[in-house]
Amino acid sequence: MSGPVPAGDHDADPGEKRQRQLDFLQGVAEYGVAGLLDGRLEWTAWLEQASRHGRYGFTNTLLIPAQRPAATDVRSYDDWKKQGRQVLRGETGIRILSRSGKPRPVFDIEQTDGAALELPEPASTSEGLARLARLTGDLGLYLDRGQGWTYLGDPAKRLFIAPEMEDLAAATHLAHQLAHVLDVQGRPKAANLDQDACRGARRAFADSVAFLVLTEVGLPTEHLFFSAPRSWAGSDERANAAGAIRLVGEQVVRTASRLRYRLSKLQAVASDAPVRRAKVQEEIAATSSPPASLETPDAELPAADIPHEELLAAIDDGHRFFVANLDGSWGASYLAGRGFTADIQARWQVGHAVRPRQALVQHLRQRGHSDEAIVAAGLGRFGMDGELIDIFRDRVLLPLRNDDGAVVGFIGRQQNSFAGPKYINTPDTVLFHKHEVLFGLHETGSRLAQGVRPLLAEGPLDAIAVNTVMPETYAAVAACGTAIGPAHLDALNRHTDLDTSGLVIALDGDPAGRVGAIRAWRHLNEVTGPVDTVRLPTDRDPADLLGKSGQEGVEKALRSVIPLADLVIDERLERFGGTLEFAENQLAAVRAAATVIAGLPSSQAARQVARVASRTQLDPADVTAAVAAAIAPDPPTDLAAAANDFPSPPELRPHTPAREPRTAAPPPRARRTK
């Protein structure tokens, strides 16, 4: 909505207008810094924004969410065109400050339309740690995690991580240390590690960089704790606490950007990993002095041409070994306590991996399987000391089968009291690709063929719980810790006709489960059959309900279903419309929901138009017009003339200091608005 134009504004000098806009943006940024200082903006919330927008600098991590809180990926007009996407007609740009300190517009991905972007798949904890280990070597440092040999190099370049530390804790500690390594010019300098005690602002800086680096490699950050900025920025009124926060924030995004740049460069050359692994094995055989990189002890054997039958035999022997170890283990007691009786455990052929690091490897060697086959089957890997060790240790294991029913991999659950990922899968092999396999698909195949409706659960125990309680209503399967994708739908379609049966998605009743269901929409909306979601109680999944409420609790929860489109559209309305109090919020919410409705079958679209009109208190005709515009948007020809006026993200060269935005004039004092 437009307000009255200030007197004389039509005749204002362009330079004066630009300065006024610059002053306004600097005032918004100062207001954001004040929010960090007084607690209105939590440091962790700012770090979440920095993980998305940090490449544009500290100030812009405050400006972008101030203008569009839900922005996830902002780029210039030209950058979106290079990605095959077009800015939608009538969209207002998000104003940021370029490296020269000039206001420039960028656009969020939700303001564009076009080719879908390929998103990186989430990494396992071990994969994330391996990437950080390679980064350590790239910075000229030696990572010591108890490899078993003496390091004879420069002691200042040695980073030690206790070998008993879990992978996530090790990755966090390593990322924290790497934050201290780069100097202010972005050059690796190992002496920085022992420069000062790591407390106060220095600790906040390193932990914050670790947060952003862990996010970059796909690892969780919920375990990190941050003190309120006032505790390390200074509470004395004479101290420049706001300046300290700005300084630390700028150092955090600059250092994290440099480390993330190096990570991306290392990832780009990862395709030649098999060649490098083979070379490493030759070096190990030729000398007892290992290279400085962590890759050496963790490298795999060169790929060998091993028949699939031999790999399947090794996996089958491994499965029998696991099943034999379940009786009397903590795993059997844990499952029984959650309502999975001994009969259910036997029916699903659940197993248990024992704690010793070479228990399975030694068993398979005695059965005549070679080390090459053990590695190629995804049952073993090389440890830090170069020894072949078990992939799965001290975990409840559930088998993953191919269409023929042969076990090709496992998914393992650890005890709740242990740190690290709850579930881990067999690594990708020639037989197993986690993005294509659904737990329980073979076991439920006959019921799917008979027309029982498929249900996608979050975890394997959830799938077992549903299949145990409601076998005539649902045939439950679970993705192996990955997002639901086209390969999973193809696998289901080999057993049933999704366009007739549709499917139900039942993820955990927490915010993460809700987000997972919404993310699955981009694939599930292509299913023409009814796609519903289960309304599970907060912080409950089917397996929880089976253990605490019995079969009756599971049945009650699974009968409460709503169309998944309702959940997705409601989320759009809340994210873009907030309380829907003002006309601007209502219009933004309708536009966001319209992009979803535009992709629905016509039989469902009319119902959703009525729902959105009711929620936003707008005329159904206005909602219908928004949907029509979303179906066939006009090209933003009015933006083409200014296409060259958009900035590129700052270059993140490791050895080049980033230029700071030029400050033109002291910003006006920010006013709190209602």
| Secondary structure (3-state) at 37 | helix
- Which band of pLDDT confidence, cut at 50, 70 and 90, is reported for residue 476? very high
Highest mean pLDDT among 4-18, 50-64, 380-394, 619-633: 50-64
CA–CA dist 468, 547 (Å, integer): 12
The values of phi and psi at residue 48, to 5°, are: -60, -40
The values of phi and psi at residue 97, to 5°, are: -105, 125
Percent of the chain with pLDDT over 70: 77
CA–CA dist 569, 232 (Å, integer): 42
**pLDDT at res. 237:** 58
**pLDDT at res. 353:** 94
**pLDDT at res. 160:** 79
Tell whether the model's pLDDT for residue 383 goes beyond 50: yes
**pLDDT at res. 638:** 40
**pLDDT at res. 167:** 86
- Which band of pLDDT confidence, cut at 50, 70 and 90, is reported for residue 210? very high
Alpha helices in 221-292 (DSSP H): 229-233, 241-268, 273-286
**pLDDT at res. 394:** 92
Q: Which of 349, 348, 372 is nearest to 361 (CA)?
A: 372
| Over residues 250-267, mean pLDDT | 89
Highest mean pLDDT among 215-219, 633-637, 657-661: 215-219
The amino acid occupying position 636 is P
Tell whether the model's pLDDT for residue 530 goes beyond 70: yes
Widest pairwise Cα distance in the chain: 90
- Which band of pLDDT confidence, cut at 50, 70 and 90, is reported for residue 520? confident
**pLDDT at res. 445:** 92
Neighbours of 174 (CB within 10 A): 25
Residue 50 parent element (H or E):
helix 43-53
Tell whether the model's pLDDT for residue 62 goes beyond 80: yes
**pLDDT at res. 299:** 36
**pLDDT at res. 402:** 92
Residues 6 or more apart from 207 whose CB is under 8 A from it? Answer: 176, 179, 224, 226
**pLDDT at res. 234:** 74
- Where are any strands of DSSP class E within 365-429? 380-382, 388-390, 395-401, 407-413, 423-425
- Tokens linked to 20: 């006024």
Tell whether the model's pLDDT for residue 544 goes beyond 70: no
473 DSSP β-pair partners: none
- Tokens linked to 527: 């299913």
Residues 6 or more apart from 421 whose CB is under 8 A from it? Answer: 124, 125, 167, 168, 414
Minimum mean pLDDT range among 260-269, 275-284, 301-310, 351-360: 275-284
Percent of the chain with pLDDT over 90: 30
- C-beta of residue 137 within 8 angstroms of C-beta of residue 295: yes
| Over residues 335-357, mean pLDDT | 92
- Tokens linked to 315: 């996996």
Tell whether the model's pLDDT for residue 659 goes beyond 50: no
CA–CA dist 267, 123 (Å, integer): 13
107 DSSP β-pair partners: 75
Half-sphere exposure of 298 (CA within 13 A, CB side): 17
| Over residues 513-533, mean pLDDT | 78
| Over residues 230-246, mean pLDDT | 79
584-600 pLDDT, tens digit per residue, is 788 888 988 888 888 88
CA–CA dist 42, 35 (Å, integer): 8
- C-beta of residue 592 within 8 angstroms of C-beta of residue 71: no
- Which band of pLDDT confidence, cut at 50, 70 and 90, is reported for residue 106? very high
Tell whether the model's pLDDT for residue 579 goes beyond 90: no
157-209 pLDDT, tens digit per residue, is 778 787 777 888 889 999 998 988 887 666 777 655 655 567 888 889 999 99
Torsional class of 394: left (φ above 0), alpha (ψ -120 to 50), beta (otherwise)? left
Higher-pLDDT residue of 141 and 512 is: 141
Q: Which of 200, 198, 163, 162 is nearest to 178 (CA)?
A: 198
Neighbours of 271 (CB within 10 A): 8
The amino acid occupying position 554 is V
- Which band of pLDDT confidence, cut at 50, 70 and 90, is reported for residue 287? very low
Rounded to 10 degrees, the C-alpha dihedral 150/153/159/162 comes to 0
123-167 pLDDT, tens digit per residue, is 788 888 889 988 888 888 888 776 555 555 676 777 878 777 788
439-469 pLDDT, tens digit per residue, is 999 999 999 999 999 998 888 998 998 898 8
